[in-house]
Structure 1
Amino acid sequence: FAHPVRVMAGDYPALEGCRIVIIAAGVNQKPGETRLQLLERNAAIFKEVVPNVVKYAPEAVLVVATNPVDIMTHLTVRFAAEYGVPPHRVFGSGTTLDTARFRTLLGAHLGVSAINVHGYVIGEHGDSEVLAWSLTTVGVIPLDDFCRTQNIDLSDDIRHDIDQKVRRAAYTIIEGKGATYYGIGSALARIVDAILSDQRAILTVCCPTPQVVGVNDVTIALPHIVGGQGIMGMYPLPLDQAEETALQASAALIKNIITEIEQTL
């Protein structure tokens, strides 16, 4: 009943000829270890892994899954660039999974398929992420108009409940079974499909961005066009003032951490 998949183990030479390489290497946080200390250890791992990946798969699109994914993607772009890999071929899973959770929860509340809910979670893949309510549509209908015509209650309390369920989903899953893997696995499969099929799909992946609401040179999740060569483009988001302020705070948080970790390299 399952797709025929061949799973094999190998060393770096096995990557030769790969079109896509997903990097999920990393270590777990030790008791009492700060996030910066954890980042330093993961950065050291990536500094070894990335050159070896690029050596054997120089034309591959690199997709980063290691958390904190925004920071690790920023470092991967930097390390890969030293070996001639262009930035558009390196990006992270970003908030692809968070966006799927948002659409699923909102679709369930509205009584429509999540496929027809077009909404995005942007910013950090973490506590400061931003649900872009003002841009959300159901089919082609703005969310507020849809709720009004269908007599669906979408009060501030209901929005807050959906927001918290999206934001805290990973914590809830970890409390129940100790780790998250199926969700991010599905998100990565979606990203890989977009690359292999050159779909030009709009996905909330993360990659270095010259400027985000006043924060320069930061790696953050925004809607990007993903295709056969990696990042094919992006488009500006007409956020409302509250969302723009929240995105700026999220970008500033990531930028501060990037600055800290780069001082240790």
Structure 2
Amino acid sequence: MANQTIHQKVVLIGDGAVGSSYAFAMLQQQIADELVIVDIQTDHVSGDALDLEDVQPLTGPLNVHPGTYQDATDADLVVITAGVPRKPGETRLDLVNKNLNILKTIVKPIVESGFAGIFIVAANPVDILTMATQKLSGFPRERVIGTGTSLDSSRWQVALANRLSVDLRTVDAYILGEHGDGQFAAYQAAAIAGQPLLAVAAKQGVSQLQLTDLETTTRKKGGSIIGLKGATFYGVATSLMRLSRAVLHNENIVLPIGAPVDGQYGLHDLYIGTPAVINAQGIAQILEVPLSADEQAKMVASAKSLQAIAADALGD
């Protein structure tokens, strides 16, 4: 990666609610040395950069400033949050054509700048736009990462911890599939403090039906937040920060992401939510979670939905 051992540089494309929350999280965690913010609202970016400067004495130094696509020349990461946000009652997949058109204007100049790092994509529909970023850039698939079901998995872990009255840090559970209505919980592989989730739930008198209701609430949580405050941003911004840290610090950590499956779950040529090992090279290894027959069917159904939309939007 470009200059990783000397000067870690991130270019953020999109300074809306998600982008600015991500920038704040990066400062809080003291990740990277330089953060360049690019957005068509140049005054807003300048104001955000000045505002974020004031955080540094209380956290640590991080050179934050406005920039252009050309700043990606020597960047380690390009993080894409730019796009039209989802409106109440609208699905993430409803945004395909709107945000695909925006993405096309971003990826080309980034590549032309000589960028040789890693893309991380959060704009919705994230699975489709991550696939589009890889195809438009021509980058190896392991160097294009989507946030995928990272946020959904966080929501599921919170829901389980609250329902089962356990420390959140003991919950090891993932949401797989599409970041959207086709997502599902992987019950067979889920654990609480090393014990199977289903066994822990049964001991507490929590039925499968109650877990399914909890999963449904988790799936709809994003829409609920949008209905209440107009947008979601803290969760996905923190997911982006966590992915950025894993890459820049070469952590070799397992995180749920939007990954380019190649045989896992019997799927090919698409990005879909599953855990993967993340390090300085991007996606070091894609992990296939053991699924029940019902869960495997849900994964295939989710993939078919994404492939149909991708074929229409990307002309595949």
What is the one-letter code of the residue matched to 1:115?
Answer: R
> Residue by residue, what CA displacement relative to the aligned partner does 1:159-206 show, whole Å, maximum 9, x if unpaired?
023102210111110111100111111111111111111111111111
Query: How far apart, CA to CA, are the structure 1 residues paired with 2:214 and 2:204?
Result: 15
Give the aligned partner of residue 38 of structure 2.
none
Aligned length: 258
Percent of residue pairs bearing the same amino acid type: 32
> Residue by residue, what CA displacement relative to the aligned partner does 1:16-44 show, whole Å, maximum 9, x if unpaired?
3211110112235799x998884233223
**CA shift for structure 1 position 61:** 0.9
Question: Structure 1 residue 186 and structure 2 residue 235: aligned?
Answer: no
> Residue by residue, what CA displacement relative to the aligned partner does 1:200-236 show, whole Å, maximum 9, x if unpaired?
1111111322345444322211111111110000222
SS at match of 1:62: strand
Query: How far apart, CA to CA, are the structure 2 residues paired with 1:30 and 1:177?
Result: 11
Query: How far apart, CA to CA, are the structure 2 residues paired with 1:147 and 1:79?
Result: 45
Gaps of 5+ in 1: none
Question: Structure 1 residue 257 and structure 2 residue 309: aligned?
Answer: yes
Give the aligned partner of residue 207 of structure 1.
259
Alignment partner of 2:76 out of 19, 30, 42: 19
Gaps of 5+ in 2: 1-54
Question: Structure 1 residue 174 and structure 2 residue 226: aligned?
Answer: yes
Alignment partner of 2:183 out of 129, 139, 160: 129
Alignment partner of 2:166 out of 109, 112, 129: 112
Query: How far apart, CA to CA, are the structure 2 residues paired with 1:53 and 1:25?
Result: 14
Query: How far apart, CA to CA, are the structure 2 residues paired with 1:11 and 1:241?
Result: 48
Alignment partner of 1:153 out of 184, 196, 205: 205
Q: Aligned-pair RMSD on alpha carbons?
A: 2.4
Query: How far apart, CA to CA, are the structure 2 residues paired with 1:257 and 1:115?
Result: 36
**In the alignment, is the contact (CA less than 8 A) between 1:123 and 1:250 conserved in 2?**
yes
**CA shift for structure 1 position 109:** 1.7
Give the aligned partner of residue 278 of structure 2.
226
Q: Which runs of 4+ in 1 moved over 6 A?
A: 33-37
Question: Structure 1 residue 102 and structure 2 residue 156: aligned?
Answer: yes
Query: How far apart, CA to CA, are the structure 1 residues paired with 2:123 and 2:108?
Result: 17
Question: Structure 1 residue 75 and structure 2 residue 132: aligned?
Answer: yes
When normalised by structure 1's length, the TM-score is 0.89
**In the alignment, is the contact (CA less than 8 A) between 1:92 and 1:206 conserved in 2?**
yes
Alignment partner of 1:3 out of 55, 59, 74: 59
Query: How far apart, CA to CA, are the structure 1 residues paired with 2:235 and 2:280?
Result: 23
SS at match of 2:260: strand
When normalised by structure 2's length, the TM-score is 0.75
**CA shift for structure 1 position 6:** 4.5
**In the alignment, is the contact (CA less than 8 A) between 1:195 and 1:226 conserved in 2?**
yes
SS at match of 2:272: strand
